[in-house]
Structure 1
Amino acid sequence: MSADLVDLFALGAVQRAAVALVLGAIGLPVVGVVIIGLDIMPVRFAMMHIALLGIAIGLLTGLDPLLCAVVACGLSGAGLAPLARGASGLSGAMGLVMSMAIAAALLVLSVSGVNAAGAFELLWGSILATRTGDVVLLGVLAVVVPGLFLVRRKQVALLLHDRELAACSGVRVDRLTLVLLVLVSVAVAGAIRLTGALLVDALTLLPALAARRLAGSLSGMAAWAVGIGVVVNAAGFVLALLLDQPPGPVLVLLAGVVALAAHLIPERRTTTWQHATH
């Protein structure tokens, strides 16, 4: 490790960013596993739009914009849960939410007289601007998300495998779906400060996609996802500091390379979900 890198890690902002990335690597990849299992890939884009609405409300009211974004995403996740029972699932609902959220955000920004560019800048993220509150939120997610996954592993596995089978097996699917959607929504909002809304897949989805190729069970997939997330986040952050480049894009590219490399391995998805239900 070079002297310059040691000096950088002596800075409080760099230390907070490093801790946030490690904590994010523990909870957020497990959220990616849930996103894949529920087949709700559009949820990331829906929450990005809702986060923008929350930021706009924060700028209008004078409250913390990112706190408003987290609250807005959490409430929206809870509101989407009942729609999972429909025949069309959540895809159509998320498209509606995205359209309404961006329209409402632009209207709020117009009413408040705030420059829209200022709101959009928050969506780009800045790891080195990580605050203590962001670290606390990621720390809570690092405990709650894996904790729920471990405690309710069989119920979660059944739900991710087949909603109707889970209901017939006595799983309270509506309540569990509600909890999972709220966690996913809050996690996406919580990752905005680190990589930005447009690059949030580096912390959530890409490690989970790579893990799906490597694991033979749902628990193994979660473990692989966390392991990949920790390695990618740590290596990407150090590499970005060494190259003096924005950490967000470096993290995404490195996570993408890992996911592509894992893609060369034959997929074991069927085995993963079948083993998970036993």
Structure 2
Amino acid sequence: MAELLGMEPVGRALLALLAATVALPVVGVVIVGLDIMPVRFAMMHVALLGIAVGLLTGLDPGLCALVACALSGAGIAPLAGTPGGLSGAMGLLMSLAIAAALLVLSVSDVNASGAFALLWGSVLSVDDSDLAVLAALAVVVPALFAWRRRDLALLLHDRELAVCAGVPVRRLTLALLVLVALSVAGSLTLTGALLVDSLTLLPALAARRLGRSLLSIALWAVAVGAVANATGFLLALAFDLPPGPVLVLTAGGAVLLVHLITARRHSAWHGHVPSPAPAPH
């Protein structure tokens, strides 16, 4: 184990996981709070389109995926306040993105299996550019959270109440959706598109059971993500298993454990509540 941890790819992977743990669980809190869970799937399709365009043009596929996701997040932001919300927009975006990606792959000499392989990802394949993106997210996401924490709390609680309170809802929603899109694209190398929830959504789901305020939920999400990611990564190294699935299973196990603990505490608390005294006659 000591020899493995001393290898450069493993050390870079640990740094990437550390940076991801600082930023992505907080993004997961935003996803859960805004109820935009389908955005993950939409951005996975958009990332595939960006990868296909990158392979076709000779540009960096990861950078093209980031740009495509950022533009898509900004493009759908104005629809957040419409009666239909983002659900319809997400479905349309997924359909158009996957169709465009398949078209690009079919009319060019791009290796389709290679493009799809990039979506699976591996934490041990993180390079310097991936690490730079995650480090930037680790700075920007906490900074935005600290700067606009009260506005975020209002927006995640009730959009109309936030508007009445003078919160710049449109600009804040735009910034959040772009960050969500960038976070999904930036974490593809770590776990792959299908396993991105281990870094974003799963820690946030556990934190919702533990925190009582937006700040406490965000801190719990980071803490759960840190423990789950570190444990999963070390288990993958110790037993020579693929890191991505192990990270997801570990994070999922943490969510189930938190659910059982909080449910038991809740039932125990109710079991000790004294029954009201009978009314005098």
Please give the TM-score of this superposition, normalised by the length of structure 1. Answer: 0.93
Where 2:59 maps in the other structure, the secondary structure is coil
Q: Which residue pairs with 2:114 in the alignment?
A: 118
Is the aligned partner of 1:224 residue 2:192?
no
Is the aligned partner of 1:96 residue 2:92?
yes
Where 1:255 maps in the other structure, the secondary structure is helix
The residue identity in structure 2 corresponding to 1:171 is V
Q: For 1:148-197, what per-residue CA distance to the aligned partner results, in whole angstroms no more than 9, with x for missing partners?
A: 11110000111111111101101010000000000000000000000000
The residue identity in structure 2 corresponding to 1:142 is A
Is the aligned partner of 1:198 residue 2:210?
no
Shift of 1:21: 0.4
The residue identity in structure 1 corresponding to 2:39 is V
Q: Decide which of 126, 136, 145 is 1:140's aligned counterpart.
A: 136
The residue identity in structure 2 corresponding to 1:76 is S
Q: Aligned equivalents of 2:223 and 2:35: distance in 1?
A: 22
Bigger radius of gyration, 1 or 2? 2
Q: Which residue pairs with 1:43 in the alignment?
A: 39
Q: Aligned equivalents of 2:122 and 2:240: distance in 1?
A: 14
Give runs of ≥4 in structure 1 deviating > 6 Å. none
Is the aligned partner of 1:238 residue 2:238?
no
Q: List alignment gaps of at least 5 residues for structure 2.
A: 265-281
Q: Decide which of 11, 14, 25 is 2:10's aligned counterpart.
A: 14
**Aligned positions, number:** 263
Q: Aligned equivalents of 2:167 and 2:30: distance in 1?
A: 16
Q: For 1:84-110, what per-residue CA distance to the aligned partner results, in whole angstroms no more than 9, with x for missing partners?
A: 111010011000000000000000111
Where 2:162 maps in the other structure, the secondary structure is helix
Q: Aligned equivalents of 2:223 and 2:64: distance in 1?
A: 31
Q: For 1:204-245, what per-residue CA distance to the aligned partner results, in whole angstroms no more than 9, with x for missing partners?
A: 000000000011111000000001111111111111000000
Q: Aligned equivalents of 1:145 and 1:60: distance in 2?
A: 32
Q: Aligned equivalents of 1:174 and 1:266: distance in 2?
A: 37
Q: Aligned equivalents of 1:93 and 1:113: distance in 2?
A: 31
Q: Aligned equivalents of 1:232 and 1:160: distance in 2?
A: 25
Q: Aligned equivalents of 2:148 and 2:84: distance in 1?
A: 26
Q: For 1:53-105, what per-residue CA distance to the aligned partner results, in whole angstroms no more than 9, with x for missing partners?
A: 00000000000101100110000000010011110100110000000000000
Shift of 1:115: 2.2
The residue identity in structure 2 corresponding to 1:67 is L
Q: Aligned equivalents of 1:263 and 1:254: distance in 2?
A: 14
**Contact in 2 for aligned 1:213/1:266 (Cα 8 Å):** no
The residue identity in structure 1 corresponding to 2:101 is A
> RMSD of the TM alignment (CA)?
1.0
Q: Aligned equivalents of 2:155 and 2:41: distance in 1?
A: 23
The residue identity in structure 1 corresponding to 2:178 is V
**Contact in 2 for aligned 1:158/1:165 (Cα 8 Å):** yes
Q: Which residue pairs with 2:153 in the alignment?
A: 157
Is the aligned partner of 1:79 residue 2:98?
no
Q: Aligned equivalents of 2:108 and 2:21: distance in 1?
A: 36
The residue identity in structure 2 corresponding to 1:170 is G
Shift of 1:266: 4.3
Q: Aligned equivalents of 2:28 and 2:2: distance in 1?
A: 32
Q: Aligned equivalents of 2:37 and 2:259: distance in 1?
A: 18
Q: Aligned equivalents of 1:69 and 1:76: distance in 2?
A: 10
The residue identity in structure 2 corresponding to 1:192 is L
Q: List alignment gaps of at least 5 residues for structure 1.
A: 268-278
Q: Aligned equivalents of 1:151 and 1:234: distance in 2?
A: 29
